[in-house]
Structure 1
């Protein structure tokens, strides 16, 4: 039986039980209290704010609000919160604790202020190493799998652990994940497909630091973003490495790993029209990095940025107030469903406002230059 798409699975937006919807409401109320927006439903949601605030490096409402809404990007905000609730088995305090840990981590790394805002121009002790990862062609997004998820191909044989610093690899991984996040549009895509192509792999390519880092970020920093991981054409030598790596992995991650051998095996997960010819498909495209174009980020200095911020912030304020109203009703009641529908409509407007603001706050990437990301239109097989 074919695997259902992400949005059709239990626990996803549009497919929640009344109890799950109630836990989503409770999560929102806790977060809005941290953002200093008073709730009118204290009888339904015990106030955890005092216990949550010490977990924040900067518990000021303005800081929490900014980090939280930067995390949501263009998605329906509920989609992001549901990732954390599913990852923590619907335990609201645990989900909130994990979410706040992620906000602290993003703040400490200055992901929004440095990595995303400067992209290819990333000021780093190893800027060349960071850019070298993109230029190498060792990892890129191309096409989508049979569940419409973006496919991120990693050609491990092109990786030399000694050719760049650990910092450069970590920044490249995070920048790639953050970019892929902008390609994932609810309801079509909530997760991604990773292909670890081990064709030509040897021990010279093995990088345990990268493996540990990937495990950490997908388990603790980007929960529920990985849909399937395909380990393709693993050579005999990888068997011993796999026995070492497997104990590091959460069982949920392990359940998403599939080993494929040969092109026909890979085609079970990715249709031939979305597979490059090197994998037996009909897509003749080959990766070529497109260099930074002078002036492509000029809008980040434009005064119009304030206008775009103001428009989005106005919609956010409406969404937050409507969320408080929604959370005051039983989610399965007539009024609760009506308020949920109003929130869904407003979430679409928020998504549109993100794309209007995006060129003013996010540096352009290879995927913008190639036409994969074009003002909110995502084409996983752009021709460039």
Structure 2
């Protein structure tokens, strides 16, 4: 089989945007997606998350995203992605779980079980959803109740009658407390005091993305864009606020069979722990390429005047990362898809010269 000019791994927002722009440039490529159907990570989000609850779904290039409504996001967005793939005839192959990417002379070798593709360039768009992060605390294995990460949140009714400790200082923790507090007892625990905001203006949003871009430029592991924008309560969370759900406590020292304990001896009983502690980039399959810096992240080449346009791996310009670092948002992912396609075109031209 002739090598492809490019191969995209992942068919979420970033992967579809990259494929759209690669097709516009006439670049021969495939998109490999681990999911059995369209929708990216959205198809796995909890059923109670409505379109009006999400922080916004950006338009895919050349189309208009669905408006906010009371419909479930895990149905609306996958339907949008499905229609987009078909309308633009994007070359998505699924389900394909990529195990590893290796370098072989001038080509990249992409392996998925016994299937192999060779490509001149690669656009990685695997996001973070498949790598939920749960920090270790002493006694975590001794807890007799239920522990779940937000990636597996089954809805508020599942916890009725059990006091839930929600761990994490991000937007997901705020949303889930908003659902849980009117149904059952809750306790909110975070490492740092939350920073509340009334509204996120353009300047503050740019500053947040720039801070993330700076980390990636230095080769540090990326921080979430949302983690640096601050938190806001929406109208549907006001009842939880009235119930005291957002009266936060600092992190406990250890977990016991029936609750959590602080260093000063304070103990709080709990029947469940919900870890709203974020995700890590799903890039383990790229490990054979040696892209990580000594600081632990994958350094990207900065793009002057475009903080969300950094996609090219410093250590291997054949590899583009979209939906990573500063482009890890629906808006950033679409913008990075355009930049990645441009970088792929340049790399192909350079290799052919």
TM-score by length of 2: 0.24
Q: Would you tell me which structure has more helix in proportion to its own residues? A: 1
Q: Would you tell me which structure has more strand in proportion to its own residues? A: 2
Higher RCO (Cα < 8 Å, 6 or more apart):
2
